[in-house]
Every structure is written in C-alpha cells, then in structure tokens.
Homo-oligomer: A and B are copies of this chain.
Amino acid sequence: VSVLEVPPGSLYGKENLPYGVYRRPPGGEPRIGVRVHEAVLDLALALDDASFAVPTLNPFLAASPQRWAEVRVALQSLFGGPVDDRALVPLCEVELLLPFAVGDYVDFYCSEQHARAVGQMFRPGQPPLMPNWHHLPVGYHGRSGTVVVSGTEVVRPMGQRRGADDDHPDFGPTQRLDIECEVGFVVGPGSVLGSRIGTEEFNEHVFGLVLVNDWSARDIQSWEYVPLGPHLGKSFATTIGPWVVPMAALEAARVPTPTQGDKLPYLAMDEPWGLDLELEVAWNGQQVSRPPYRAIHWSPAQMLAHLTVNGAATRTGDLFASGTVSGDEPGTQGAFIELTRNGEQPIRVNGEDRSFLEDGDEVAITGSAVCAGGGRLGLGECRGRIAPARP
C-alpha cells in the first residue's frame, strides 16, 4: 500500500486524470486506467468497479456526463490516501492501446493560418481562403479504420503523383510525406438521426480530447483531391495519443477564440471559447514547431454544432479534429509543408536540411493545457515512425 500523490508541478495530477487503455505485457489483458504522473492507475482496482476491466473506453464514454463527474470526484478523493500497489503500474511497464473504438472521424480545417498557407500553395494565383471559410467550419470525413494509437509505425504510402509539368501521373512512394499537428474531440453519448446538437450542449456530448497527427502525403493529395476532397493522401494512417483528457479538466484552459465575424445563429455563442493548448512537434527528437491551439478560429462547440446541423447522428467514439494547428509566428506551424514553405526552405534537423519525412524518421507531438489559475495539464504524446514503403 502506497499513498497516491504526485510531485508538485506534475502535468498529470488530480486536476488532469486522462483516460486510456493499457496492457501489461506479456499476457496482460487490456484494462482502463488513468494517468497519474508517471504511472497508470487501474480504475477497476482503484475504484473496485469491474466495469473498468474492459479493453475500450466506449462503454464509459457512452454512459453520461453525470457518471463521468462521479468517477472524477471518486478518483480525486483517492489522492492523499492509500492505494493498493497493484493498482498503480509504472508507465514504463505498460503498453498503451487505442483508447476507444472510433466511430466516424471528421477532420476540420479551423486554423486560418493553415488554410491560408495551404491555399496559397495548392491554388496559386487564387484567393487562398474559399468564400465559405469564415462562415462555417470546413471539414470532411477521414478514414476511421486507419486511426491508430501513438507508437504504431506508419508505412510510407504508395500512390499516384503528377508533377506540374507532366501529362500523366506516375506511381511510387510518396516523396512529400508530412504531418498535421491537431487536436481531436471524442464524442460520448451519441445523438439520434434528424436531431442537432447546439453549441450550448457540447458538454453533454463530448467527453474529452486527444492529440492527433493526421499524416499527409502531399503529392498524392494534390493530384487526387479535386473535386471530392482528400482521400488516399490521408487515409493510410492517422495517429492519436493514448490519453483522452477529460473536457472537465480542460475547462480551466478555456480562452476566447480569435474574433469571429457575423455568423448564422446556429453557430452563435455568447462567448465562443477555445483552449489554451501549447503543442510541440519534435522531429527525430528535435523540437521544430510550437503550434498554439488558441489561434484556432472555431470553438469545438461550433464544430460539433455544424457537424450535426443537418441532422447527422453521432455515435459514441466519434472523433472530430481541429485540422492542422498553425500560428502566425515562424516556428509555430503544424505541418512541414508550411514550416518549409512547400519544401523550398528546408529546416535544419539534427544538422541536416529536411523538408519532408524520410524513412526511419520519428515525429512526436506533445502538449499541455495552460490553466487560468496557473498550472498545466499534460496531453500525452502522439508519436510515429516512418517505415519504408512496400512496393
């Protein structure tokens, strides 16, 4: 028996309590845990509640905000008291698994900085922002079956590319493999077909937040994406962090969104809120960018209201992500295509000039939420290494 406590300043104390699914190799069964400093607290053992001895968060996500709140209070009350040693497993002894079964995955495009930068590159000579951009959170469906957990290797995709001066496409491994540093939101109780979720109902429907890396093959994407949007340039893999940080914890990190113009009433909010999340992108261990989530134009509540305004149903485990997070300052862009200006201004990574990802490269996205009262909450890590293409 130990005392459940964390050192001062830990990013994973009682104010955070992100949920994940872990396994103790070899042979351990997947179970739900929350991260407490550098350990996983097994929820079934800590709370004597067998409903957490399951391999996915989905049943808990589906329960209700009231249940989430009760469990949060119960967990917080354990701090400072005794805890069974078997319930506290060092992080270094566990394997972290995909925390929930993903329903539909929608990826938005809510960073104005990113949308402008990519628009300039993909549609030179045209206005970088489409006329709809300031009126609605533009988004599309990604492939939920290829959402993988941090640590999963990413096989370099093969595909069609066409050079600007070529008549015909050729086929081969992508030469412009990129990242998109994002934040995703995880739906709890779903909503029925034909109904809508208003901006004020966000808390009833969204449980928490994960880090997201929406890997992108820019050459494949730029050839395929008209007129129906990105497909194979994205669908080969999307990595999410293993920890789902409760929105309840993140209320302390709410900040106003950037100023929004006139909006249709279904997107209106008295005070549109964003989140003060400081993200970091490390390329082979070297920090190359610090994207500021607070620059994101639309509130997550507006994203969900838009997603369902046509009556689309939601399901437990649905994931909707912000789109690439990019700031205005140099070194704050969430994609290499922006950081390197379409590959034309390589950046130095461990002494080498680099534009896009090479085989063996590893990218890790980390971040923390900056709380109003001081203090930070860790968001975990979203990591992936590039494996060679399989021709």
Which A residues have a C-beta under 8 Å from some C-beta of B?
Answer: 103-104, 106, 109, 119, 122-123, 130-132, 135-136, 138-146, 148, 152, 155, 157-160, 162, 168-171, 190, 193-196, 217, 220, 223-233, 235-237, 262, 264-266, 306-307, 309-315, 318, 387, 390
- On whether the beta carbons of A171 and B264 are closer than 8 Å, the reply is yes
Q: Which 6 pairs from chain A and chain B are nearest by CB? A: A229-B229, A157-B310, A155-B194, A141-B141, A140-B228, A236-B310
- On whether the beta carbons of B157 and A104 are closer than 8 Å, the reply is no
Q: A145 touches which one: B195, B266, B314, B387 (CB < 8 A)? A: B314
A185 to chain B, nearest CB (A): 15
| Cα–Cα, bound, A315→B139 (Å) | 24
| Cα–Cα, bound, A227→B315 (Å) | 26
- On whether the beta carbons of B314 and A103 are closer than 8 Å, the reply is no
* 27 A-B residue pairs with CB within 8 Å: A103-B144, A103-B145, A106-B231, A109-B228, A132-B224, A135-B168, A136-B224, A138-B224, A138-B228, A140-B230, A145-B312, A145-B314, A145-B318, A146-B193, A155-B311, A158-B310, A159-B310, A160-B264, A170-B264, A196-B390, A225-B227, A227-B229, A229-B230, A232-B307, A235-B312, A236-B311, A311-B390
Interface of A is mostly: loop
Counting every copy of the chain, the complex holds: 2
Q: Which residues of B contact A109 (CB under 8 A)?
A: 228
- On whether the beta carbons of A169 and B309 are closer than 8 Å, the reply is no
- On whether the beta carbons of A232 and B309 are closer than 8 Å, the reply is yes
| Cα–Cα, bound, A223→B306 (Å) | 14
- On whether the beta carbons of B169 and A264 are closer than 8 Å, the reply is yes
Q: Which residues of B contact A390 (CB under 8 A)?
A: 194-196, 311
- On whether the beta carbons of B141 and A171 are closer than 8 Å, the reply is no
Q: Which residues of B contact A228 (CB under 8 A)?
A: 109, 138-140, 225, 229-230
| Cα–Cα, bound, A224→B217 (Å) | 23
| Cα–Cα, bound, A190→B233 (Å) | 20
A189 to chain B, nearest CB (A): 14
New A-B contacts (5) at CB < 8 Å, excluding given A131-B162, A132-B169, A236-B310:
A132-B160, A132-B162, A140-B228, A155-B194, A229-B230
